[in-house]
Homo-oligomer: A and B are copies of this chain.
């Protein structure tokens, strides 16, 4: 049989697997946006069945034979070869799990999600404890099934960022935490102005309209996606032509929705920029979670917290909120949205202290997976780490260990990609400024089209063809260099 014919068969199998996975994603999206509360139990089992079916299709022996046959063919091009290679990797990985394990995991995740929602409502970690314990046991089992050399957490880290290990992530943080700490002290010693105007009353409907305006301005194609409201903002997609973002609105905190809109739009622009004709294939998927996060953080921070951006957008914003912002100039505004200060909530943290939030989660997860911290001790360990690294007292679980949705999604090992993503973002941002003539002037006049095009052509278009490091080298000429992030921050915060 010719390679073309075999490769087509492979593509069709992959598209069917994608259909089931995306169907599962639709059910999850609905679960976090519109599902009525009593529908939770049935939804859990529906998700479990879809995930089980997707697993069965992914580990199907016929697919295995096809992959084997394709691997031996010599007339595949680079993209095809890479797709086959990545799929074979995933095939072997998924074979380590039984159908039953996949189902159990899916059910445990749903149970944890609902109990997290309830625990947040009642502001009580204890409600979440049993479901999280069950889920963590399964994650430990998952690490064993996947296998690892040095640390069980490596197996899980690898799930979100291929090739990453505790050793590697430790080294990244070791290198950056001191310069971050020093910079933080230096910035906080200066007068940083006031940000109380961000906490005036910003009515829900007006915020929504403003947020929708903003995501459109940034290039989010609303014919190929939409925005809704959820407990925790997220981006998901069911094809490159159907990308869903969510946000949340706090009438007493203008920052909450605005930068979540920009952040999720950054993710969404990446998904909308992936090659749609590669639906279901690795070449149609995002490169890695750190690269995904580099896109959201580049838009949220490098663009969305820059003076350039607000030169143009503050006057527009004042049309939405004349009463709230009439007495605020662009200096005050940009100062406020970049104010560095230790805080409780990761998603609301400034760009600098943000990485202490991530490091705390990373540290805690490592301990949970290796078994040196138990679920019941999460609140006390969490609070102690916040005291140690950020010097703040956590007043309650909602503003503490219940703030993030990730664990209730079974995502242990995900957080480090947030820091890696920020560092990649700074590196890409610098390269974009070098490559695009007059980029800063463009942004200053509200035009981000050339930046988006640059990201599309240099990053989005490649899908999963390259690893994070390969892609970073291809785009910037060298691998991740977190010094560039420090330089970026210094020039911004000490300007």
Contacts and interface: CB of A to CB of B under 8 A. Distances in A.
Interface of A: 15-16, 19-20, 22-24, 26-27, 30, 34-39, 41-43, 45-46, 48-50, 53, 221-226, 228, 238-239, 241-242, 279
A4 to B, nearest CB: 21
Contacts of A49: 16, 19-20, 23
A45 B15 contact: yes
Contacts of A38: 221, 223-224, 241-242
13 contacts: A20-B49, A20-B53, A23-B27, A23-B49, A26-B26, A36-B222, A37-B223, A38-B221, A38-B241, A39-B241, A39-B242, A42-B279, A43-B239
Given A26-B26, A26-B27, A238 B37 contact: no
A23 B22 contact: no
Given A38-B221, A38-B242, A39-B225, 5 more contacts: A20-B50, A35-B242, A42-B242, A42-B279, A46-B238
A36 B223 CA distance: 5
Contact of A43 (B36, B42, B242): B242
The 4 closest A-B pairs by CB, nearest first: A39-B242, A42-B239, A19-B49, A38-B224
Number of copies: 2
A279 to B, nearest CB: 7
A239 B40 CA distance: 10
A23 B50 contact: yes
A15 B46 CA distance: 9
Contacts of A23: 23-24, 26-27, 46, 49-50
Given A16-B49, A50-B20, A53-B20, A224 B26 contact: no
Contacts of A50: 19-20, 23
A45 B27 contact: no
B46 A224 contact: no
A42 B238 contact: yes
A27 B45 CA distance: 16
A224 B41 CA distance: 11
Contacts of A42: 22, 238-239, 241-242, 279
Contacts of A225: 36, 39
Given A19-B49, A26-B26, A39 B222 contact: no
A241 B20 CA distance: 24
B36 A26 contact: no
A223 B37 CA distance: 6
Nearest to A221: B38
Contacts of A239: 39, 41-43
A335 B270 CA distance: 58
Contacts of A242: 35-36, 38-39, 42-43
Contacts of A224: 36, 38-39
B226 A36 contact: yes
A276 to B, nearest CB: 8
A99 to B, nearest CB: 11
A36 B38 CA distance: 27
Contacts of A46: 19, 22-23, 26, 238
A448 B440 CA distance: 65
A42 B222 CA distance: 16
A163 to B, nearest CB: 31
Nearest to A39: B242
A26 B24 CA distance: 10
Contacts of A27: 23, 26
Contacts of A15: 45
Nearest to A20: B49
Contact of A241 (B34, B41, B241): B41
Contacts of A34: 226, 228
A38 B225 CA distance: 8
A26 B30 contact: yes
A136 to B, nearest CB: 26
A19 B36 CA distance: 17
Nearest to A50: B23
A41 B223 CA distance: 13
Nearest to A22: B46
Nearest to A21: B46
